[in-house]
Amino acid sequence: MRIDSVCLDCGEPVTVSVKDGKIESREPEGIIGHVSVPIGRWVFNVPYS
Q: Within 10 Å of residue 36's Cβ, how many Cβ atoms? A: 5
**What's phi and psi for 20, nearest 5 deg?**
55, 40
Tell me the CA distances in angstroms from 13 to 3, 23, 40, 43, one per residue in order.
Answer: 11, 17, 31, 31
pLDDT band at 48 (very low <50, low <70, confident <90, very high): low
Structural domain boundaries in the chain: 2-32
Please answer whether residues 8 and 19 qualify as being in contact, where contact means their C-beta atoms are separated by less than 8 angstroms: no
Confidence (pTM): 0.60
Q: What is the pLDDT of residue 30?
A: 84
Q: Within 10 Å of residue 34's Cβ, how many Cβ atoms? A: 6
Q: Between residues 42 and 11, which one has the greater pLDDT? A: 11
